[in-house]
Amino acid sequence: MNIAVIGTGYVGLVSGTCFAEMGNSVICVDVDHQKIEKLKQGIIPIYEPGLEEMVLENHKKGDLLFTTSLKEALKSAEVAFIAVGTPMGEDGSADLQYVLAVAREIGEGMDRYLVVVDKSTVPVGTADLVKETILAAQKARGVEIPFDVVSNPEFLKEGDAINDFMKPDRVVVGAESARAMEKMRELYAPFTRSHDRFIAMGVRSAEMTKYAANAMLATKISFMNEISNICEATGADVNDVRVGIGSDKRIGYSFIYPGCGYGGSCFPKDVKALEKIALEHGITPRVIGAVEEVNREQKKVLVRKITARFGENLQGKSFGIWGLSFKPETDDMREASSIVLIKELLARGATIKAYDPKAMEEARHFYLKEHPEILYTSNKYDALNGASAMVLVTEWKEFRSPDFYEIKNRLLEPVIFDGRNQYKKERLGEMGIEYHQIGVAIHRT
């Protein structure tokens, strides 16, 4: 099938590449000339395991092309995916200007029946806006070419995106016409072969499914973080409680890990956008509002623990931070807890040394660029030299079994604050390391 993918961000690039991998002819479009030039040379703008090789291979075969001209991509396209960003607007709602600009251009450039797919996460009702925009652009040209607008939300996780796309739990498609639904079924058949994972529904339901899924997952996390705070106050150990409740199949083990808050490009943005959608429709969402509020507070949980231990004034104290990205296996720092933690520590006069396997460039040049005083180290132990404590923020694999003797040697005092509960308190206790984790009260001797 001939496919155009508009927007070569995370979702667009992964989707386009995976469609090409299945033998489709894909043209990826972006307005950013530099990005397109780099992609043509096989330089990809993000870190995602396995993606670079797949882009290179399919580009070489000619199944994956890159262009800045949407018109060119539309010449042969049977399906056009809109995968441009929907950043959070000032008021918390999704900013649709990029989606609608693409819709206009599609209306101006298309010359045959086309299935237009909303892949970006967009508020309920956006497909109708896209349709109106395309119709208006066609009218201005004096043409009337049939098309359908379909919603096909993306559920991929950063760090495991290729696997998620190639072997999806489900493919959700919302369409109002049988013709468009058939086309989408055909396109996704190779990905859902083992058994039918294709879930067909109305356009608005598909749009809502994405928000409901992300809000549900974020709710599990915030709920667990709230429980962890109660555990800590009551003397319970959240690590045991987590296993205790997860063993109930109805609850399940996933997404109940307590921590220093969720981040990323989806949960924070989508939870806020869903709240906004509800309010616009006259509903005051109580659970969803609380999910976001709990998370905002939870991002400060390590700051609270550090100041409880070392006092509000951290002048002359250094902290070694392990992990900057919002989760492991990505260099993405959007809404990362590390940003809140580091800024709060710096504001109290502390010195910061940080190490992350992939995200240090992002931090230095973008997310923490207003703090050139942060020292980034080339290995995890160097970040601890002369520090009062080690603070683990992101649970990268290389932090799971560190050399605790080395940690002790490098630190001024053997103190660890663990925002992701990675270690066994008994083991650290035996080694004389003071171990602060989430949801477990600490009794210092």
Nearest-approach distance from CB 15 to ligand UDX, in angstroms:
12
Q: Tell me the C-alpha distance between 421 and 257, whole Å.
A: 9
Phi and psi angles of residue 75, each rounded to the nearest 5 degrees, phi first: -50, -45
Hey, what are 190's tokens? 């190779």
Strands 198-201 and 171-174, how do they pair? parallel
Active-site residue, 28 included: no
Map residues 266-295 to x or -, x wherever contact with ligand UDX holds by CB under 6 A: xx----------------------------
Is residue 158 at the binding interface for ligand UDX, with CB under 6 A as the rule?
A: yes
Which residue's CB is nearer to ligand UDX, number 240 or number 406?
240
- Residue 156 binds ligand UDX, judged by CB under 6 A: yes
Residues in Cβ contact with 191 at an 8 Å cutoff, skipping those fewer than 6 apart: 18, 22, 165, 166, 167, 168, 171, 197
Does 155 contact ligand UDX by CB under 6 A? yes
Strands (DSSP E) found in 137-215: 147-151, 171-174, 198-201
Task: Determine what percent of the chain falls in helix, strand and coil, rounding each to the nearest 5.
Answer: 45, 15, 40
β partners of residue 100: none
Task: Read off the tokens for 353.
Answer: 């040394």
List the one residue from 15, 24, 133, 214 that touches ligand UDX (CB under 6 A): 214
158 or 331: CB nearest ligand UDX? 158
Task: Provide long-range contacts, Cβ within 8 A and 24+ apart, for 279-287.
Answer: 280/93, 287/219
Decide if 238 contacts 227 (C-beta within 8 A): yes
Binding flag, residue 14, ligand UDX (CB under 6 A): no
As measured in angstroms, the least distance from the Cβ of 216 to ligand UDX is 10
16 or 264: whose CB is closer to ligand UDX?
264
User: Interface with ligand UDX includes 327 (CB under 6 A)?
Assistant: yes
User: By CB under 6 A, what part of segment 383-422 binds ligand UDX?
Assistant: none
262 binds ligand UDX (CB under 6 A): yes
When asked if residue 320 is in the footprint of ligand UDX (CB under 6 A), the reply is no
Q: Build a one-symbol-per-residue string for 49-68: x at contacts with ligand UDX by CB under 6 A, - elsewhere.
A: --------------------
The site for ligand UDX (CB under 6 A) is made up of 154-158, 214, 217, 221, 255-257, 259, 262-264, 266-267, 326-327
* Catalytically annotated residues: 266
